[in-house]
Structure 1
Amino acid sequence: MLLKTFGWSFAVTALGLVAAVLYGGWTAFGIVAILSVLEISLSFDNAVVNAGILKKMNAFWQKIFLTIGVLIAVFGMRLVFPVVIVAVTASMGPIEAVDLALTDKDRYEQLVTDAHPSIAAFGGMFLLMIFLDFIFEERDIKWLGWLERPLAKLGKIDMLSVCVALIVLLITSMTFATHAHLHAGPADKAETVLLSGIAGLITYMIVGGLSGYFEDKLEEEEEREHEAEEEAERTGKPRSAVVLAGKAAFFMFLYLEVLDASFSFDGVIGAFAITNDIVLMALGLGIGAMYVRSLTVYLVRQGTLDDYVYLEHGAHYAIGALAGILLVTIQYEISELITGSIGVILIGWSFWSSVRRNRALAEAEGKAETSDKTEVSSGV
């Protein structure tokens, strides 16, 4: 079962790590490994969401999502998107960006370094919005209750996350941006960071809007299907289950692809906090994306990993940490080891907290059952 589900992921991992060693030695090996773990940790909650929706789809649409969808997610977002970001920020064509990265690494490194404040501002704002929308939302399950309870109360204020993000962007442009490594004056540097940050905010709102649109469409189709089932039961007439299931599955597929794209943004953008090398980035994110797909299949077939309820919290705190790191790197250089370790530590901490929670619940249920048996045997 494990080999059948994760076989392709294991194969891609082996090939990717070997390619990394051949490309840049053991340093490249370590960076690719860190990027793979980062991508898996940041996209774990995406796999859980995917699995919950895929369970409602028939085998045909599941296969479509896990074949066509993986091409879009792995080769589109994880491999092409980093090249597009570099090409846009460095004002060159995608083919030229790839050629430059492979043939003239020194010039490429300089161009990416000059473009880094734009990338960091754009990515930092996008990731910050994901984090803020998460911590300002009221949730039944809380990991760090002392922090999440008051923030959830503050989250009732309309547009609070946008206001906080814009304040952070303004402060960043007035501090870090004035010393950023750009071939321009302080005013131009601040303007570059401001424009890039606003672009990141707008991108997040567009992606979120599309996700919300398809989610609403999905709910409408499911509601129509439910009403058709009730009508068929009342009248005794057969209904076209295939047509209704097909419509619902189609909107599920569109919704999942938009959702995948949004989660791909945080992995790709977070990767820029670790390395500017698009080859290592493509290898690491590609490996990670394959495991996310395998996790989705595993969750559909087993439905067990969603018991670790704090993992979603850990992933979002890691996103928040990456957002802060990206904004700081506009001025200061931070080691890739530190950046990668923070995400791994937060994910590991949330996983261990989930395990402890499950043990405590199991012990409580065991004590309750023992107490009930004692009461029955004593005739109480």
Structure 2
Amino acid sequence: MVLKTFGWSFAVTALGLVAAVFIGGWQAFGIVAILSILEISLSFDNAVVNAGILKKMNAFWQKIFLTIGILIAVFGMRLVFPVVIVAISAKLGPIEAVDLALNNKDLYEQYVTDAHASIAAFGGMFLLMIFLDFIFEDRDIKWLGWLERPLAKLGKVDMLSVCIALIVLLVSAMTVATHAHTHSGPVDKASTVMISGIAGLITYLIVGGLSSFFENKLEEEEEREHEEEEAAKKAGKPVSAVKLAGKAAFFMFLYLEVLDASFSFDGVIGAFAITNDIVLMALGLGIGAMYVRSLTVYLVRQGTLDDYVYLEHGAHYAIGALAAILLITIQYEINEVITGLIGVVLIGWSFWSSVRRNKRLAAEEAGNGEGSDEKSEVSSGV
């Protein structure tokens, strides 16, 4: 099971590390290895949240997530995205931006750093909406009941998540976002943060809304699936499950990719603290992204989220922390180690709480079983 799920990750790791040695020797090998670990530590909560979505998809779309999805994650977000950011912020053509990334790495890094405010605002708002929608939803299983019960009651207010997100964005623009100078001249960071943050909010509402809409449509179609299959078989044309799940799975896949993009922002920016070589960065972050995807599929196939029910809660609290950190880093620098540790601690705490819950439920079931056995012995006169 482990080899089947992580086989491609192991292969990509070996190829990536060998490529690093050929490119820059053992020093490059060490850089790629460190970047891989950085990406995995920062994105473990991403894997847990992804698993909650991916488990609703069929095997076909899970494979798409691991194939086309990883190409988008590695080449799109870890290689192309930083170059696109530089091209837009520096008003350069695509070829010029690529040339800058390969031949003038220091200036390339500076351009990416200059664009950090807009990147952080976009990603921070997208992740904040995910967190707010989660904590305001009334769930049967609650982890921190003292906090989640009153929040679930507040969640009955329409558009509360959007209102709070906009308030947070406004406060961020008025506080952490100040005027700054970049290579392209003075920048009104407040307006940049507002525009980028609203773009992140709109992206979440569109993609998340479409995902929810088609997910509901999928559930309705699944209720009629058996009848449709029977009718199709009589006509000699079996119905494809992939066709039935097509639109729903596609938009859920799109949502996953945007979600992964938001999670990768801090990893891409943080990678410049280790290297400004775009090729080594793509190798290291790409290896880490591959493990995150494999871990996502592993969690789905093992049913880990069903066994450890608080994991999803811990991951969403980690998302909320990451959203806050991204918004804070618009003005202040926060070490990536702190970001990664916060996520690991929250998920570890939720895992430990899940284990304790499972032990308590097992003990209660054992106690109830013994009580029923004693009653049967008394009634039989033993």
With normalisation by structure 1, the TM-score equals 0.84
2:37 corresponds in structure 1 to 33
Moved more, 212-221 or 269-278: 269-278
1:164 corresponds in structure 2 to 164
2:117 corresponds in structure 1 to 117
**8 Å CA contact retained: 1:41, 1:343:** yes
SS for the counterpart of 2:146 is: helix
2:339 corresponds in structure 1 to 339
TM-aligned CA deviation for residue 280 of structure 1: 5.8
TM-aligned CA deviation for residue 7 of structure 1: 1.8
> How many Å separate the matches in 2 of 1:305 and 1:194?
36
SS for the counterpart of 2:140 is: coil
Give the letter aligned to residue 245 of structure 2. A
> How many Å separate the matches in 2 of 1:63 and 1:201?
29
2:198 corresponds in structure 1 to 198
Pick aligned residue for 1:268 from 253, 260, 264: 264
Tell me whether 1:224 sits opposite 2:220 in the alignment.
no
1:137 corresponds in structure 2 to 137
TM-aligned CA deviation for residue 243 of structure 1: 2.3
TM-aligned CA deviation for residue 300 of structure 1: 5.4
1:151 corresponds in structure 2 to 151
Moved more, 205-214 or 301-310: 301-310
**8 Å CA contact retained: 1:126, 1:200:** yes
**8 Å CA contact retained: 2:83, 2:101:** no
> How many Å separate the matches in 2 of 1:61 and 1:167?
37
Instruction: Point out where structure 2 has 5 or more consecutive residues left out of the alignment.
Output: none
Classify 1:352/1:16 alpha carbon distance in 2 versus 1 (closer, same or farther; 3 Å): farther
Instruction: Point out where structure 1 has 5 or more consecutive residues left out of the alignment.
Output: none
For 1:214-293, what aligned pairs fall within 5 Å after superposition?
214-228=214-228, 238=234, 242-243=238-239, 245-272=241-268, 274-276=270-272, 277=276, 279=279, 282-293=282-293
1:47 corresponds in structure 2 to 51
**8 Å CA contact retained: 2:137, 2:152:** yes
TM-aligned CA deviation for residue 163 of structure 1: 1.0
TM-aligned CA deviation for residue 272 of structure 1: 4.5
**8 Å CA contact retained: 2:126, 2:204:** yes
SS for the counterpart of 2:178 is: helix
TM-aligned CA deviation for residue 27 of structure 1: 5.8
Give the letter aligned to residue 263 of structure 2. G
Moved more, 330-339 or 275-284: 275-284
> How many Å separate the matches in 1 of 2:327 and 2:108?
22
1:73-109 per-position Cα deviation (integer Å, ceiling 9, x unaligned): 5444554344434443443344544442332221112
Moved more, 73-82 or 28-37: 73-82
Give the letter aligned to residue 38 of structure 2. I
**8 Å CA contact retained: 1:210, 1:258:** no
**8 Å CA contact retained: 2:45, 2:319:** no
SS for the counterpart of 1:44 is: helix
SS for the counterpart of 2:177 is: helix
> How many Å separate the matches in 2 of 1:100 and 1:23?
23
TM-aligned CA deviation for residue 249 of structure 1: 3.4
SS for the counterpart of 2:10 is: helix
Give the letter aligned to residue 4 of structure 2. K
1:103 corresponds in structure 2 to 103
Identity, in percent, stands at: 66
Classify 1:131/1:82 alpha carbon distance in 2 versus 1 (closer, same or farther; 3 Å): farther
TM-aligned CA deviation for residue 52 of structure 1: 3.7
Classify 1:23/1:86 alpha carbon distance in 2 versus 1 (closer, same or farther; 3 Å): farther
1:356-380 per-position Cα deviation (integer Å, ceiling 9, x unaligned): 2112211221222122222222228
1:229-271 per-position Cα deviation (integer Å, ceiling 9, x unaligned): 6x86xxxx83667225342132354134223213212322232
TM-aligned CA deviation for residue 158 of structure 1: 1.0
> How many Å separate the matches in 2 of 1:46 and 1:73?
13
Query: RMSD of the alignment, in Å?
Result: 3.1
Moved more, 362-371 or 214-223: 214-223
Moved more, 9-18 or 313-322: 9-18
**8 Å CA contact retained: 2:35, 2:285:** no
Give the letter aligned to residue 132 of structure 1. L
1:23-78 per-position Cα deviation (integer Å, ceiling 9, x unaligned): 65746643431212322321222124313422xx5xx6665554444444544455
> How many Å separate the matches in 1 of 2:103 and 2:269?
23
For 1:175-190, what aligned pairs fall within 5 Å after superposition?
175-178=175-178, 180=180, 182=182, 188-190=188-190
> How many Å separate the matches in 2 of 1:200 and 1:366?
50
Count of matched residue positions in the alignment of Structure 1 and Structure 2:
371
Give the letter aligned to residue 222 of structure 1. E
SS for the counterpart of 1:131 is: helix
1:337-365 per-position Cα deviation (integer Å, ceiling 9, x unaligned): 11221112112211222122112211221
